[in-house]
Structures are given as structure tokens and as C-alpha cells.
Chains A and B, each alone.
Chain A
């Protein structure tokens, strides 16, 4: 187990280095470079821009810039935002909790609903419920999220007036209830597509587990159908789902670009879009590394969880 972990850790580090090199290079190859914004500013001369570039070390060769950046990163210095000069980690921290709230809620909703729909679809295969779930999943997967967001705002905000159209809280209020009130619509819209994916996978995994011989053994033992489902089928069906959950983990913290924009939610997804728009390279690079680390971590956690619950891997 520890050998396995060491091995994975080593692979992860190599992967992160490669990702950061590619990210850094591609970002700096973009036309105009990091200071293109200032070039358009009539108050700044070419000289000013060059002075700024020298100040920020942007006139050095790219590989030296990269090494410098990576060395600072290792020491915990993720650089400073071009926009307001605050540390990248501080900027990320400001947006992280908002994303965590939205994504955590919607993911929990999606997994709970998806698991239930998937299991029921498998146990009642080809029933009306199963057909509706299948068609519903197809629609949720094929219609873009922003459309659901806009329709949701139109119906529940403009027509019915039940929920606010956007933002995380009402300025001057900020009670728990107010937060929840703002959370309902975006988290539901966001969970739609995840329910669709999760329920489809869960249905397949459940059908697979149902057809296993040990289910027949349990029936031959006189075990009740309910217990067979809970004890023998669901446990085995959830095993392949853990890997899927691991892939889901990074997005809980990196946020949703489209939904956060539609609902003006101050999360990580919007931070990324805004930073790109301002050519705020230190923040963009910070977000890139942050999400790469999360992807690696998500997979690692999934592997560890699988190894803990599956005795075949735990002891082998």
C-alpha cells in the first residue's frame, strides 16, 4: 500500500511539472503577451510598458521566467495579481468558499438523486420510470446548462418571483436563510447534468451487479430482495462509481464557468474567466496549477477509497 502510494506520488509530481510547463508556455504564446492590456491604455507610453515588463521580469527568456515562477511556487509564493496586486493565493481564497458552497450542494444533490434514479431504473428496467429517466438524462445532457439557467431565471424569478436571479447574498442581509435562498436555483440547474451522468452510470453498474452469480446465491439462500439489493447489489455497483466521484472532485473546487456567470456567482469559475479577460497571467497560472493538483488528488483519493472498500485491492 505504501509502495503504491509512493509510486503514485512520484507519477503525480511528474504530471504536475508537465502540466505547468505546457500551461506556462501556451499562456505566454498568446498574442500580445501579458501586458497587451496596458498597450491599449492611452495614458501609457511604449516606454512605460517596457519599464513595467522589466519590473515584472517579463523581458527575460521564457524558460528562466518559468524556473523563477516554479521556484517561487515551491516556496509558497504563487505571485501577485496584475489587476490589484494582491497575492494569487489570497485571490483564490476569496472565491473558493463561494464555489465550494455551490458545487458542494449541487454535487451532493446530483449523487443522491443519480444513485436513486440509477438503482431504480435498473431494478425496474424498461418500466415507465426507466424510460422517463433515460429521456430526461438525454435532454439534460444535450441541452446546454446556460439555457436551463436562463429558463430557470425566467420562470422562477421573473414570472413566479420565488428566488433571486443571481448573486450569493443580498447586500445588507447575509443570513443563512438568505444564502440558501440564493443557492437553490443555481445548484439545481448545475446538478441537472450531473444527475444525468451519474444516474446513467449507476444504472449500468447496478444491472451489472444484479446479473452476478452471487446475487443468485443470495436468492438461493432465501435472502429477501430488499436485503439483496442493499447488501449485495448496491455495494458492488458503487465500486466503479468511486472513480467517477474522484473525477468529479476537482470541479467542486474549480467551479462552473457558465453557471457562475449566468447567476453572477462570485466563484472560481468567474474568477478564471475574468482573469483571462484581463490577461492576469499569475492568477490564471495559479488556477491552472490549483486545478491540476485537484485532479491528481481526486484520482488519488478515489484510488485510496477503492482500496479501502474492496478487499481484493486492499490486501493484494
Chain B
């Protein structure tokens, strides 16, 4: 790959990476974090580096920043920043480049800001670190920067502590900080991944605007092809430490050359304007009917008038028939996870009814509800945290059914059956969760939920923590399971694209209420509520009206395949 690229003249190249190899300490999965990668970031362009977890994209960014941990070294190659090779530079020289010539913004804007320092002080710190200006000039510059990144009331914002700001506002502060010394290069490491989709659209727009206004060069790291389509001029695709393909955004997105790129693009969930082909199961009985469900969080004390009341779920009603999937979509704080917890009675509701197979379970005590628990099972978001690391997979699967009176031998037999059903080999039974990858663990989580032969599965962000290619596999598995067992599903997600892949009907939640409910085709092509329209418009890289045909193509044809 590298040999094909001619070193561009330093005048129009802001950042040039040449045959860079970064070695990992011994005993790791592989010897190199990245091996022999080369690319150029041209002045005034946005270069997207895309790859799944473990592709080496963040290591590359840290190498350019001179921020690699001690155990990870650059073993060969060169990194030219504005014509200067930074490989082998002293820590002091590297430090003087950081923040001045190249600056960086990170994924999680909450933890990336010091909770004990005001926003203004943190912005000024960049300038102070490089002895730029006087305290007074730094202060006025900080306020200018707050205006530039579009934060309301900059004078007030200057004295604000980070915890007072929303995620999007914090990311704007990070950007203001990165811009303080007008660096030539901005490295953005997944800067919108932790944000809601509407906030993500705003931040992408901001980065684009600032980049154009200042003629800055941006290296943008992401795992999301939607984001790439939205802002990239140039794309580098990375896989397992190698640079497998690079080219202009149009070229890579429209006619990807490498097999891996093609697989990755095919795996990206697209907004599907088409509705799901329902399974052929016969009778359609109502399995879950929710009416006017409400839950209000109260904190503080009524006595001292500091009480805060947050209506998390407010008058939610829907009806789910057997063998169908309802998607619950919303941004953070919309109440979608609270709804999930109410349905499985991990939390008591304040009002309304939950008719499960015709019986109201809302008012049942824990003891009365316990026999029904096996029928409603949950699949959790984090496949790492949701499995007990000290139990074997076999124990994780069998402990529930045994507690509900199944004989161990019978449970173990069913567990082995299910493990192979979800695409793991039967040997997984005696192994521990840490021996499996994220996708495999989520399969274990699904098998665990199926142990009870449930009537209803609640999947709370079940694929959100997974890479897109794994995500696609898990979605396919869930679809297949539903067709075989006729289980009903409630699929809670923040990602409209994912919801459109698997749901028969989608309920859009906003501030505790369902603002719109309908089949995907209606939600995406003809949204009735303004909030849904906003949400759909914010999805990166999608124009709902012109959804490419091939996006659905793969989907329908893959239906019959086994995993």
C-alpha cells in the first residue's frame, strides 16, 4: 500500500505519516499495534481514519500527538508535522508542539475535562502552557473562543464548571480549547461517538464550519461510515493495524476496492424505507399491552423544598403482538431505558397497566411476579459487565433455570444446545466469559435469555457496544431466533438505523412520551412529528428519501443464511 503513495511536497501536506510501525509489548495479541502505515493529510482537508476496535486508529493518533504510553514504542517510520519529523524528538520538543501545532479532542467530553476547574481556566491553560499572551489577553481570547464554538452566554460559560454543561456543550468547550492557539492540525478521536444523534449532527457541522473558516487540516477518527459520508474529503481504512485502503471519500464510499472495506460498508445499518417482512407464524395474539404507564423520579427532600421531579415515563401506551418486534428509539434522557426497566419490573411504576398475556403485572408483588419472570427476559448492553467473570458460561446459563426448578442435567443439555444455536461451539460451556470477544459474549447473553423459553425479550441497547460487522451478525441472529421461536421483542436503542433493521414497528420517545409510533417506512419517509423529523435528519450519511437500494438488498437476501 505504502509504496504506491508518492511523498507529497511539504507545502500542501500538513501531516505526513510514512511507513509507521508501532510495536506492542511482548505477550500481546499481536506484535504491532500498527504496521507500516502511510498516509498524508493535505492542508485544509478532512481525513477520516475508519476502522473497528483494535484496528490501531487510536494508536496512530496518539503516536502523532507523541502521547503513546511508555510500553508502546514507535519502532520505525516517520511522522512529519508541518515538515518536521517528530519521531525521536525529545519530550520537551513534543510538548511544545502539542496544543500549538497539533491539538486533539476526545471521545468522552465528560471525563476529558477537569471537574475542579472552570471552563475558562481550562481554555486559558493551553495558552499559558505555551506562554502565549498575557492573563488579560488570554481571558478575552477564551471568551472569543466560546463565542466561536457557538456556546450561549460566553461570559457566564467562562466561569462555569464542566458538570453544569450538556455533552454537546462540553464537546464545544473541548473544541474551543483545541482551537486556542490556531493549530495547523486538529485530531478528533471519535468526537461524536458519545453524543446523541442530533447533538452529533451539530458537532459535525461545527467541525466542518471551523475547518473551512480557518483552513485547518483535520484528522477525524471514527468507526461510523455515516460520519465519513458526512464530512470526509479523504478516507483511510484500517484493519488490525494495517492500512487496507485509502482514497477520496467519494471513491472509497462508492466503489470500495478492498474486500474488508466492502464488508464494512455492507455491514453498516442503513435507514430502511421498507418494512420488515413479517414471519409466517399463524395466530397473532397480543402479548404485551401497555396503557398509560408512568414513572416519576423524585430526588431531594420535600421538607426542604429541594425536591426535583423528573417524569421519566409519562403516559406511555403500546400494544405488542406475538412474534413481532417493537423498537423503542430515543436520545439519552428520553425515558427508553426506564421503560425497559418498568416492563421487566426491575422498578415499580407509578401508574398505568402492563398487560402481559392478558394479566396486569404492574401491581404484582415481587413474589407474585416471580413465576412470570422466566417468560420475560432481558439482553443487556454491555457484554463485558453483564456476565459474571467468576462463573463459567455453563453456570451463567444454567443457574437461572435451576433456580426456577429445572433439573441441572436438563438445563445443561439445553445450554449446550443453545450455545451451538447462537453460533458458539459446545466447548464454550466450560469456559469463562473473559475468553470470549464482545460479539461472542453478546451471543452468550442471548443464549442465557433464551434458556427460559421466554415469550418476550427486552433488548436494551443490545448491539450498541459492538463493532458494525459484529452488530450486523447479532441483529441477524436475533431476527433468526424470532422467526424460529416466535418470541416477541422490545428493542431499545438510540440508533434509528439499527432499529430500522430489526423492528416491525418503531416508537419514538422524547421526554418520557411516545411522540410517534408506526412502521419504519412511515417513521423514516413520512414522519408526522417534528421531533422524529429532526431525529431522522440528524442521522449521519443518510438522506432518507434516497436510500440506496443495495442497502436493503443485502438484508433480504441474507435472511435465510445461517450464521
Contact = CB atoms under 8 A, between A and B. Distances in A.
A217 B174 contact: yes
Contact of A214 (B103, B111, B164): B111
Contact of A222 (B96, B117, B306): B96
A185 to B, nearest CB: 39
Interface stretch (A173-181, A190-198, A307-315): A307-315
B114 A315 contact: no
Name the prevailing secondary structure of the B interface residues.
loop
Nearest to A215: B114
A235 B117 CA distance: 10
A221 B164 contact: no
B163 A312 contact: yes
24 contacts: A3-B305, A6-B304, A214-B114, A216-B106, A217-B174, A219-B67, A220-B99, A221-B98, A221-B103, A221-B125, A221-B177, A222-B96, A222-B97, A222-B98, A223-B99, A223-B129, A224-B95, A227-B129, A231-B117, A232-B114, A236-B115, A309-B116, A311-B116, A312-B161
A212 interface: yes
B99 A311 contact: no
B164 A315 contact: yes
Nearest to B103: A220
A311 B165 CA distance: 13
Q: Could you say which of A7, A221, A315 has the most chain B C-beta atoms within 10 Å of its C-beta?
A: A221
Contacts, number: 85
B552 interface: no
A315 B115 CA distance: 13
B173 to A, nearest CB: 10
B476 interface: no
Interface string A1-18: 001001100000000000
Interface string A181-222: 000000000000000000000000000000011101111111
B174 A219 contact: no
Contacts of B106: 213, 216-217, 220
B113 interface: yes
B285 to A, nearest CB: 48
B306 A224 contact: no
A219 to B, nearest CB: 6
Given A223-B129, A311-B116, A316-B163, 4 more contacts: A3-B303, A232-B117, A309-B116, A312-B161
Contacts of A214: 111-115
B100 interface: yes
Contact of A216 (B67, B99, B164): B67
Interface residues of B, number: 33
B189 to A, nearest CB: 10
B114 A221 contact: no
Given A6-B304, A224-B95, A212 B116 contact: no
B304 A221 contact: no
**Most B CB atoms within 10 A — which of A218, A236, A316?**
A218
Interface of A: 3, 6-7, 212-214, 216-224, 227, 231-232, 235-236, 239, 309-312, 315-316
A217 to B, nearest CB: 5
Given A216-B106, A217-B174, A222 B111 contact: no
Contacts of B113: 214, 217
Interface string B56-82: 000000000101000000000000000
Contacts of A222: 95-100, 126, 129-130
B177 A236 contact: no
A313 B100 CA distance: 34
Interface in B482-520: none
A309 B129 CA distance: 24
A221 B175 CA distance: 12
B108 A218 contact: no
B520 to A, nearest CB: 37
Contacts of B116: 235-236, 239, 309-311
Interface string B458-472: 000000000000000
Given A3-B306, A7-B301, A315-B164, A220 B67 contact: yes
Nearest to B65: A220
B329 interface: no
Contacts of A224: 95, 129
B526 to A, nearest CB: 42
B284 to A, nearest CB: 49
B216 interface: no
Q: Which 9 A-B pairs have the closest CB atoms?
A: A3-B304, A222-B99, A213-B111, A222-B98, A311-B161, A221-B99, A220-B104, A214-B114, A223-B129
B305 to A, nearest CB: 8
A219 B98 contact: yes
Nearest to B98: A222
A217 B112 contact: yes
A209 to B, nearest CB: 10
Contacts of B108: 213
Interface string B128-159: 01100000000000000000000000000000
A255 B95 CA distance: 49
A219 B100 CA distance: 12
B163 A311 contact: yes
Contacts of B100: 222
A231 to B, nearest CB: 8
A222 B132 CA distance: 12
Nearest to B130: A222
Contacts of B161: 311-312, 315
Contacts of A232: 114, 117
A286 to B, nearest CB: 34
Contact of B115 (A6, A227, A312): A312
B395 to A, nearest CB: 32
Contacts of B126: 221-223
A33 to B, nearest CB: 44
A212 B112 CA distance: 8
